[in-house]
């Protein structure tokens, strides 16, 4: 690492709001700045540790037509993220140490943030034979998940939770009963009925959340519930909390922002899995966040090509992109309406996912890695998917006016993103520190 040294001045600490000056050298936060260090005047912007997204689909290997590790991590940097966890439902599925190593190598070559691969729970995500969890962990996997598919057999899930304990890896569960989902295309409810689309009941998620919580109790395994979307699932999480189980949960910006009405007249950019739910569920997600039942936020960034999304609704794939709107949706729909303090909201994007995944802390103190983000929580902007760094344009937020902007992102002491309007970043960009 030969990233040049620089100093960030006139920033505000993300927690205390206190004025902050911070030196960066050799990829880490330093005690004092070298004499020749470039200076970034943050202009009073908020300085926080880089955001962490533990639920991202980078689509490599095999689906580089949707997204690449390069484009997905570039989008992550633009969203203020310095680390993402890559889901293994690629083509082929990441179920061997070799693919974990391949992703890490590729991320080192072309990534714009740290990439932590997640290995599959079962071979080819078929829900039958367990993957070599220990080998995956040794190669660098930080968790196991069959995301995109549930492990339908309770017996296999039980063994997976037991076996993963030895490898020290959490299991991230995509909670969905496939039989209850059937050929469902969106949330079961008034909109699905009006559109004649088969519905997916909220119970398809919550019955599996309840099953896996009971299996976590049986096995002592470490369980993380991915992208929870409905009231009943959070009832299950509350129950797990009361039982003192090692169960954590995440939700995503679209579940606290949108409802199934967003599908409108078959908008495939409002099609994801789990689906957007009722207004009551949306409110329950917000209440769960306020109550502290949500351990961390995640985007479930799921890029697809415009061609794929431009199909009749029932033929279009599930998923939306999320990295580049995550912070603004957090500010616009949680912080500004008064559901969360900004510092707490940022904690759920920074310290919290690190805790959930057992990743080392990043503090704004000397000796810690310089994984940083400069934020303007008051700046308004309009979402333009054509301006995304992600290859995916599949966002339901196109044209939305949001509040909260990422000004610059620094990962390992290198500038990985600078908003074009944030000219102060030029100080390090011109010093040749861009990654």
Site residues for another protein per CB under 8 A: 188-190, 192-199, 201, 265-266, 310-315, 328-329, 332-333, 336-337, 399-403
User: How far is the C-alpha of 96 from the C-alpha of 27, rounded, in Å?
Assistant: 31
Task: Please report where in the chains the tokens 């908008």 appear, as a residue.
Answer: 267
Q: Report how far residue 43's alpha carbon sits from residue 33's, in angstroms, rounded to the nearest whole number.
A: 19
Contacts of 420 (CB under 8 A, 6+ apart): none
> Active site residue: 212, 300, 371, 376, which one?
300
**Cβ(206)–Cβ(235) under 8 Å?**
yes
Give DSSP secondary structure letters for 373-424: EEEEEEEEEE--GGG-SSS----TTTT-EEEEEEEEEEETTEEEEE-TT-GG
Nearest alpha-carbon partner for 234 in 280, 177, 178: 280
CA atoms lying within 13 Å on the CB side of residue 295? 22
Nearer to another protein, 254 or 414 (CB): 254
Cross-strand pairs, 409: 373, 417
CB of 315 to another protein, least distance (A): 6
Least Cβ distance, residue 202 to another protein (angstroms): 11
Q: Which is nearer to another protein, 335 or 391 (CB)?
A: 335
> Coil, strand, or helix at residue 130?
strand
> Least CB distance from residue 204 to another protein, whole Å?
13
* Annotation says 214 is catalytic: no
Nearest CB to another protein, comparing residues 266 and 368: 266
Q: Pick between residue 155 and residue 179 the one whose CB is nearest to another protein.
A: 179
Q: Which is nearer to another protein, 68 or 257 (CB)?
A: 257
Shorter beta-carbon distance to another protein: residue 138 or 310: 310
* Shortest separation between residue 399's beta carbon and another protein, angstroms: 5
CB of 313 to another protein, least distance (A): 5
H helices present in 178-335, as ranges: 178-181, 190-195, 203-219, 231-242, 253-257, 279-291, 306-309, 326-330
Count other Cβ atoms within 10 Å, centred on residue 267.
Answer: 13
> Least distance in Å: CB of 331 to another protein?
8
Residue 120 near residue 93, CB atoms below 8 Å: yes
**Rounded CA separation 64/308 (Å):** 14
239 or 308: CB nearest another protein: 308
CB of 196 to another protein, least distance (A): 3
Cα 44 from Cα 11, distance rounded (Å) = 5
Pair 103, 115: CB distance under 8 Å: yes
Q: What is the distance between the alpha carbons of residues 57 and 62, in angstroms, rounded to a whole number?
A: 12
* Residues annotated as catalytic (active site), given as ranges: 300
């Amino acid at each position: 690492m030969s990233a040049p040294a620089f100093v960030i001045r006139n920033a505000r600490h993300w927690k205390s709001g206190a004025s902050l000056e911070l030196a960066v050298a050799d990829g880490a936060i330093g005690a004092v700045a070298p004499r020749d260090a470039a200076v970034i005047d943050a202009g009073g912007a908020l300085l926080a540790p880089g955001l962490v997204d533990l639920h991202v689909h980078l689509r490599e290997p095999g689906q580089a037509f949707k997204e690449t590790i390069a484009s997905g991590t570039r989008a992550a940097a633009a969203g203020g993220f310095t680390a993402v966890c890559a889901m293994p439902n690629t083509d082929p599925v990441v179920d061997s140490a070799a693919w974990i190593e391949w992703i890490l190598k590729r991320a080192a070559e072309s990534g714009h943030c740290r990439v932590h691969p997640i290995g599959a729970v079962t071979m080819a995500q078929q829900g039958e034979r367990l993957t070599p969890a220990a080998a995956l962990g040794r190669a660098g996997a930080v968790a196991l998940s069959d995301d995109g598919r549930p492990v339908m057999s309770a017996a296999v899930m039980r063994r997976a939770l037991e076996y993963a304990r030895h490898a020290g890896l959490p299991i991230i569960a995509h909670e969905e009963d496939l039989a209850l989902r059937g050929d469902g295309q969106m949330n079961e409810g008034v909109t699905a009925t009006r559109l004649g689309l088969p519905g997916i009941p909220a119970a398809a998620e919550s019955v599996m959340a309840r099953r896996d919580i009971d299996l976590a109790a049986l096995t002592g395994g470490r369980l993380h519930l991915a992208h929870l979307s409905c009231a009943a699932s959070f009832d299950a999480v509350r129950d797990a909390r009361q039982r003192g189980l090692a169960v954590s949960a995440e939700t995503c910006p679209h579940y606290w922002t949108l409802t199934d009405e967003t599908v409108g007249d078959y908008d495939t950019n409002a099609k994801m899995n789990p689906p957007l739910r009722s207004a009551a569920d949306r409110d329950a997600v917000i209440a769960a966040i306020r109550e502290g039942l949500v351990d961390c936020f995640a985007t479930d960034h799921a890029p697809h090509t415009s061609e794929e999304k431009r199909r009749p609704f029932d033929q279009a794939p599930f998923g939306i992109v999320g990295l580049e709107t995550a912070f603004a949706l957090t500010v616009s729909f949680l912080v500004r309406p008064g559901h969360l303090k900004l510092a707490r909201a940022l904690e759920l994007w920074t310290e919290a996912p690190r805790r959930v995944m057992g990743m080392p802390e990043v503090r704004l103190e000397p000796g810690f890695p310089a994984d940083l983000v400069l934020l303007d929580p008051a700046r308004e902007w309009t979402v333009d998917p054509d301006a995304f760094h992600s290859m995916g344009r599949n966002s339901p937020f196109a044209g939305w006016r949001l509040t909260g902007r990422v000004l610059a992102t620094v990962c390992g002491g290198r500038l990985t993103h600078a908003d074009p309007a944030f000219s102060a970043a030029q100080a390090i960009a011109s010093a040749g520190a861009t990654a």
